[in-house]
Amino acid sequence: MITADEIKKLAHLARIEVTDEDVAQYAQDLESILGYVDQINNVDVSSVDSAPLQINSFRLDENPHESGQYIESLLADAPASQDGFYKVPKIL
């Protein structure tokens, strides 16, 4: 159970002003949120196979090109380049 003092301390850390009515409402809301988190923590996921989640879907090339293969042609199209990089105006 979250106490009123804990709510007031959190409000102080967050630099917000709370009334006594706010404290009661926030305590109730936080209890509800923490109860939901507790339900999630108690879910049995031991039977879930997590291997499919570890696929790099950004690069599914079967035959990826050699690193650096297109640098020269890309830099040739750039308005300006320096030391193998695009050169852009300084923005401050």
**35-90: pLDDT as tens digits:** 999 999 999 888 877 666 666 667 666 666 777 888 888 899 999 999 989 999 88
What pLDDT was estimated at residue 46? 84
Please check whether residue 24 lies inside any domain of the structure: yes
- Three-state DSSP at 9 gives helix
Place of tokens 């035959």: 63
Please check whether residue 67 lies inside any domain of the structure: no
Please check whether residue 30 lies inside any domain of the structure: yes
- Three-state DSSP at 40 gives helix
Q: Give the domain CATH number at 17.
A: 1.10.20
Please check whether residue 81 lies inside any domain of the structure: no
What pLDDT was estimated at residue 88? 92
What pLDDT was estimated at residue 26? 93
What pLDDT was estimated at residue 1? 82
